[in-house]
Chains A and B, each alone.
Chain A
Amino acid sequence: MKRILFLIAAFVLALGILLPARPAAAADPAAVITSLGNEALKVLGKNVDPDVRVARFRQLFQQNFNVPGIARFVLGRYWRLATPTQQQEFIRFFTDYIALVYANQLAEYNGETLRVTGTRPAPDGALVSSEIIRTDGKPPARVDWLLTPQSGGYKISDVIVEGISMAVTQRSEFASVIQRDGGQVQGLITALRQKTESTGAH
């Protein structure tokens, strides 16, 4: 009897470890953003240790974002010039870099909530509009999320803050770095690696 209970407990535990990565309501884009947004604002807030915040952000990013698609978009025309090894390297350091950049920016948040204001179909996906309600009475910040269907759920392909696309901004910056390095992708990969290694989280 004890043995059976133990087995059941082990099974439940194993389930608990395997399952949480699945989004709760994958069918509804608005629900995806509501749950992710509020989770992010909660676990990445002000009183979190910077290193922990970066690690948590990295995990949320990999679970909920269309990372390979974003990586390919931000590399633009240079994606095709990169070797498969460089592409994989780029995805890896790009993920580190995004975690570093945006985890830091979220550090300012403290008690804010996210409210979804609407969803509209986008070609090949959905665009979810939301507001981040601030605690200090300042007008809410507008954030739009571009979602693409993927493996039964939705993954985020772009975040647009007050009309500014994060993907487009990164793409423009990366293109500039590559061009200034004579059109070589390797220069960007090295720069990303150095940035993530040298810039600690504060």
Chain B
Amino acid sequence: MRERLTTIRHLRLVSANLVIVLTAIVSGCASHPQSQQPGVAAEEDFHDPLENVNRKIFDFNQVVDRHVLVPAAKAYRAALPERVRDSVHDFLNNLQEPLIFANATLQGRFDYARDSAVRFVLNSTVGVGGLVDVVGRWGGIPYRENDLGITFGVWGIPEGPYLVIPVLGPSDPRDISGLAIEAFGDPWNRIVSGQPWNYYWIPYVRGAVSGIDQRSRYLETLADIERTSLDYYATIRSLYRQRRAALVRGEHGNLPPNPGFTQNVPAAPASSVASTRSPDVVSALQDGAGVSGQ
């Protein structure tokens, strides 16, 4: 118990420092464009002060996606039958369970931590080293993604400005610090990187396969969104933010939504359309959803 608290405090310090440093860097070079002409509304706050740089990195990522990731994902799909790909997916998910367990515990979500432990033990044994997600498929306990960025969010650390990371994609200071610490703290990565084995290439292969696996699952969805979007960058930014917020709220079950942009909703104009109150409804929902921690 004492150890856990120390760990939490330590992690909190590390993350707080990282966040402060990153935020300082970010806000240092941020210039907030203020185009206030009469007749033109104030801009929506996307919390994206680095938008110009982010969009350039986003474009670069799109090129990488089109020429490397998508072809690789398509080849992967063509080369292996679905059953094999599902096994790869289940295996990679199973490798995540120790960190998921740790994060759920750090968040105080002990039911999720228990589920993760059950999944890991049974899937690693009955499920042949994690190749078959027996617990998810027949035991009714699905895989629930979780990570250190979510833990920081649960602890009340703000997400900070939106960031697009080269190759990795959408993020923010909170999530990218979480990712960095997890890469360092991942038990499998440690085991194969000198304690006790020296297969330094394994984490990279795992990362690459994991990326291709993920990409192959969203080929159609992302292509659809890109094709129909008016501003793909803005859509992805909004989707990423909302998804992360939902995970921080622990919304794996059916909990009320908590949309992010509703603070900026102006009072509904009393004009034209009658009895349409959705902005009010959504922001009211948000007030009510503050205590949603399961």
Interface size class of B (residues with CB under 8 A): 35 or more
Mask, B262-273, CB within 8 Å of A = 1, is 101110110111
Q: How many residues of A contact B (CB 8 A)?
A: 63
Rounded to whole angstroms, the CA-CA distance of A86 and B233 in the bound complex is 25
Query: In the assembled complex, which residues on chain A have CB atoms less than 8 Å from the CB atom of B261?
Result: 76, 168, 171-172
Pick out which of these stretches binds chain A: B57-65, B98-106, B120-128, B251-259.
Answer: B251-259
With contacts A70-B278, A168-B259 taken as known, whether A163 is within 8 angstroms of B137 at the C-beta atoms is no
If A101-B228, A105-B224, A175-B44 touch, whether A183 touches B242 (CB-CB below 8 Å) is no
Interface segment, one of A15-23, A26-34, A45-53, A187-195: A187-195
Task: For B30, list chain A residues within 8 Å (CB).
Answer: none
Segment from A4-12, A36-44, A55-63, A116-124 that makes contact with B: A116-124
Question: Across the interface, do A73 and B44 meet the contact criterion of CB distance under 8 Å?
Answer: no
Task: Tell me, yes or no, whether A81 is within 8 Å of chain B by CB.
Answer: yes
Interface CB pairs A-B, < 8 A, 8: A77-B264, A101-B228, A117-B254, A165-B259, A167-B278, A176-B46, A195-B228, A199-B227
Q: How far is the CA of A176 from the CA of B51 in the complex (A)?
A: 11
Residue B153 interfacial (CB < 8 Å): no
- Chain A residue with the shortest CB-CB distance to B271: A80
- Most chain-B CB neighbours within 10 Å: which of A81, A118, A146? A146
Task: Check: A153 CB closer than 8 A to any chain B CB.
Answer: no
Q: Cβ of B243: which chain A residues have Cβ within 8 Å of it?
A: 162-164
The 6 A-B residue pairs whose C-beta atoms are closest, nearest first, are A163-B246, A69-B276, A183-B40, A176-B234, A175-B44, A123-B284
Q: Which residues of B contact A184 (CB under 8 A)?
A: 40
- Determine if B46 and A122 form an interchain contact, defined as CB atoms under 8 angstroms apart: no
Which B residues touch A123, using CB under 8 A? 280-281, 284-285, 288
Residues of A within 8 A of B249 (CB): 163
B131 in contact (CB, < 8 A):
no
Compute how far the CA of A177 lies from the CA of B235 in the bound complex, rounded to whole angstroms: 10
Q: Is B239 an interface residue (CB 8 A)?
A: yes
Contact of A168 among B35, B37, B251, B262 (CB under 8 A): B262
Q: Which residues of A contact B (CB under 8 A)?
A: 66, 68-70, 72-73, 76-81, 84, 87, 97, 100-101, 104-105, 108, 117-118, 120, 122-125, 127, 129, 137, 139, 142, 144, 146, 148, 150, 157-158, 160, 162-165, 167-169, 171-177, 179-180, 182-184, 188, 191-192, 195, 199
| B residues less than 8 Å from A157 (CB atoms) | 276, 278, 281-282
Given A174-B230, A199-B228: A158 in contact with B278 (beta carbons within 8 A)? yes
- Name the residue in A77, A123, A172 with the highest tally of chain B Cβ atoms < 10 Å from its Cβ: A172
CB atoms of B230 and A195 under 8 A apart: yes
Q: Are A158 and B277 in contact (CB under 8 A)?
A: no
User: Which of B35, B42, B245, B256 is the most central at the interface, judged by chain A CB atoms within 10 Å of its CB?
Assistant: B256
Q: Which residue of B lies closest to A140 (CB)?
A: B142
Residue of B nearest to A185 (CB): B41
Q: Does B275 make an interface contact (CB < 8 A)?
A: yes
* B256 touching A77, Cβ below 8 Å: no
Q: How far is the CB of B94 from chain A (nearest CB, A)?
A: 16
The reply to whether A163 and B247 form a contact with Cβ atoms under 8 Å apart is: yes
Beyond known contacts A73-B279, A139-B143, A148-B276: 12 more, CB 8 A cutoff: A72-B273, A73-B282, A97-B228, A120-B256, A124-B284, A144-B254, A162-B243, A169-B239, A169-B242, A173-B231, A188-B230, A191-B230
Residue of A nearest to B234 (CB): A176
Minimum Cβ distance to chain B for residue A194 (Å) = 9
Contact B257 A165 (CB under 8 A): yes
